[in-house]
Structure 1
Amino acid sequence: KIVGPFLNPYIKIGVEIKANNLLAIQAKNYSVEILPIKKVTPLQQKYQWKIGINFSVGASSTQNSYLGIVGSGNGNASVAYTSAGQVPSCTTCANNRFYNSHSAIKPAVGLVLGIFVQKNISPKIAFSIGLNYKMYNSVMMIGSKVDSAIIANNNSSYLSQSDFFYRTGSSTRYKNHFHFLEIPLALNIKLGKQNKHPLYLNTGISIAQLIATNALQFDTASTKYYSNNSLFNKTQIGISAGLLFSLSGNSKNAFLVGPDIHFSLNRMAATGLYQSSNYSYFGIQVKKIFGKK
């Protein structure tokens, strides 16, 4: 008999109370059971894919300066004039001036609308991939439309034929529209330790496909505007960056807003009016993420 307050956690025992009020522990069916020692590991947080929507509106540009909007380049942003006396074929030029170059191409409103999925790869970094529709616009001043065929070479080996053209001038405000489908890849990085209203750096790369445009080209020989979409580089590689401020506190289903900038790395076209230009965009972006809290 084993007497006293002695317990062995590895021995199955029975308890028996004696009449002399002494606690006696009597081992019955004595057996030893060896239990495996389990290693304690910290719990790993499981991150789930979440779905979100994004919308951005701002200024888009097709100029050939740094980022198009904030740069100083003006390769296609000025209208050149020549005195009528220097152009023998010009006999009825208004105000004794003759347009021998294209109009200034100015920035206009652009927008981006899309859907994405996002997953955290660490407590502070999330990866996302999505699908965007975006429309970039620019504005130029041109003359009247003429429904007549034109063949233009634009001082290059490309011959362009169009069923209509526009004269040079300033009577019509023409909007160039560029429509894209885009696949963006991005990292969303939480900055600092602020939890009440966290700030995020959003940066990434994208591939976009030009699916439609009404943009005009310019023939320097005839000084006429015409349409030829085959001159454009349809596939565009771009980079983007932005700061996103959470309006929903530290909620896992965040509502984010902040500035967004995008720049295309390759030229808009190999030849023609846009051969020295890049697409660029600066706007305000809004994101809403949905998922389990």
Structure 2
Amino acid sequence: MRDHDHALIKSKWENLGTVKFTLVRNLGKKLLLNNVSVERYSDWIGKLPVVVLSPEDSVLTSGAPQLKRQYFDRLFSQVSHEYLANLIHYSKLLKQRNAYLKLKNDRKSFTYDTQLETYDEQLAPLSLKLYAFRKENFSILNDFLHAFFLAIDERDIPVSIEYKSSLSLSEKNNSYIETFLSESRGNIQNEILLKRSLRGAGYDRIEFKRSSQALKTGASQGEKKFWLVCLKLAEGKYILQQGGVEPLYLFDDLFSELDIDHTRNLLHHIRELKQIIVTSTDLSDLRRQGISPTPGSFNIIDI
């Protein structure tokens, strides 16, 4: 691109057709599907599902809840355009509400007013839709996660993704919208002081659990890596079930931090996947341990 004014990447897919990505100097990027321009990024989401495992994913096991929310929002958006539309609408309103909280802080006004009430009455039903979808689909993901963990590890260690609303929901008071409006009004002074909202789907908590302990504090690096691998496999199964399309798996540096038994069982399992690309720096070490990803099950390219 340094010595040229444009670049083009072209590919052809069985279930999509021709996909082109162009980059033109001073004009920017453009994505075309069967020679028709994809004008909105949201229109492309879910067209070509990909499950990616990279070293950067390690932040999921130890990072803030916000990182996990963003991660699963991207996943759920791939299989549900309704979820994506609700998320976009919710995020825009939340951004406006937070900007208004900052304005009220600047003005030293710490009262709940009609403008905030208008925001909350629009945010509450959207937040409910996101919460309900997440709750149902985390249950599906947990079933897949446990199944893969047991198939590869065989020790039947309980693992789960724990999802908790930022609202104080209970069986006695199960009206989500009423609770949302009540807690938003009741916490308004704190929200204005902090210049941000504290309730709703944008602030729900997601925790990874292993043997009833938080993964980030109760597991070794190898155990965290294996947990992530099982999560990615569960993600692929979930996309296939919900979206009807088997994703492409891209697993970078897959075998690092995994012990021999997990590596052997994992290789036996992933060779059944339809389309997967794996990178590794230690194939020679695997072979010394008697583990051989043979050309019959994998197309091996040594670089």
Q: TM-score, normalised by structure 1?
A: 0.24
Q: Which has the higher contact order (CA 8 A, sep 6+)?
A: 2
The structure that has the greater radius of gyration is 1
Q: TM-score, normalised by structure 2?
A: 0.23
